[in-house]
Amino acid sequence: MVRRKLKAPTSYDVARQAAVSQAVVSRAFQTGSPISPETRARVLACATALGYQPNAVARSLITKRSGLAGVLLTEATQRDTPDLLILLAQALLAQGLQPLLFPCQRESEGGGALDKALSFGVDGVVSCVGLSHSDLARARVRQRPVVLFNRHSDDLHAVEVACDHASAAQLLASRLFAAGHRRFAVVTGPSDGPVSTLRVDSFLARLAELGIEEVIQYEGDYRYESGHTAAMRLLSGTPSSQRPEVVFCANDAMALGVLDAARFALMLRVPSDVSVVGFDDIPAGRRPTYLLTTVSQPFEAMARMAAALLRQRVDEAPADAAQRELLAGTLIERGSTQLLPDSPSR
């Protein structure tokens, strides 16, 4: 017995059923197209009855637009700030762009992720990964705009949307100093992490302005486990008079590791014996068991702005002018840190 493969309904079938042309069928599926509400409703009803859906790939061959937006991000971003991916997806969908994820394990692999995204015919890219001048140049040659998200480039054409990490880190240093802290330790992210570098360098620069030159540093990898290890190295085997009074971590996941090591492995009181500060305001840090002092990034506003900029550049063709949008972070004061209420910066 030979089984015949069912033929998928076409726009021609819908047009014949609705007694309209194929062009009218096409317009019925396009928002804002010149077609009467009655005709649109009739066409869509016939399409539903026949089980017809427009072929996005076929349509892209005609319009030269895929409707896809590549999203590049690292494993650490996916693991530690999953809400960001949700917010970016929602923002891109609201702009009529279907997000397509291109993950990479390390920051240094951004160029490969970009090439893969371009090979899929995306209309543009939001990159949560650092890209080189040559990476951005390849996208421009293809006339595919790129919006850097929480990443910086000195490329003359770069478009960026980011949290003002530097100002937030400087504010943290000022507030901690004003509260009387003088012995500091820092747990950094990996050496190729540009956001960690910006946060740590800004924190240390402000401390130097305040006269604090000696700060112990330990390189982590953004994971909880590296924070735990860092605390065991930084806080154990040292007299209380020499032990760091504050441990600033480049992200919240490591700060939670520091907190658990300090309290349960080293039996230190937080914040009486040591204050712990993070950055990002991840949900776990808000739990009563942690109450982590941190900086909240305006991810929702950043995602909306990045998606809107990408939509604009896709519609108007990639512009040459650089654009940088910095949005302020918010210091969230909780129980893991001794801070003076409303203490002024010095």
Q: What is the pLDDT at residue 28?
A: 85
Same fold yes or no, 11-54 and 165-297: no
**Check: CATH 1.10.260.40 for 11-54?**
yes
pLDDT of 57 over the 70 cut: no
- Which pLDDT band holds residue 343 (cuts at 50, 70, 90)? very low
pLDDT of 319 over the 70 cut: no
Q: What average pLDDT does the chain have?
A: 91
pLDDT of 152 over the 50 cut: yes
Read off the pTM: 0.83
pLDDT of 182 over the 90 cut: yes
Under CATH, domain 68-163+299-327 is a member of which superfamily? Answer: Response regulator (3.40.50.2300)
- Which pLDDT band holds residue 67 (cuts at 50, 70, 90)? very high
16-30, 132-146, 245-259, range with the lowest pLDDT: 16-30
Tokens 């990045």 identify what position? 306
Query: What is the average pLDDT across 138-145?
Result: 94
pLDDT of 235 over the 70 cut: yes
CB distance 14 to 25 below 8 Å:
yes
- Which pLDDT band holds residue 60 (cuts at 50, 70, 90)? low
Q: What is the pLDDT at residue 116?
A: 97
C-beta pairs of 14-22 under 8 Å, 24+ apart in sequence: 14/43, 14/46, 14/47, 14/50, 14/52, 17/46, 17/49, 17/50, 18/42, 18/43, 18/45, 18/46
In the chain, the percentage of residues whose pLDDT exceeds 90 is 74
CB distance 128 to 307 below 8 Å:
no
Q: What is the pLDDT at residue 346?
A: 35
In the chain, the percentage of residues whose pLDDT exceeds 70 is 92
- Which pLDDT band holds residue 163 (cuts at 50, 70, 90)? very high
Query: What is the average pLDDT across 122-150?
Result: 96
Cβ partners under 8 Å of residue 339, min gap 6: 175, 176, 179, 275, 293, 333
What are the residue ranges spanned by the domains of the chain?
Answer: 11-54, 68-163+299-327, 165-297
Class of domain 165-297: alpha beta
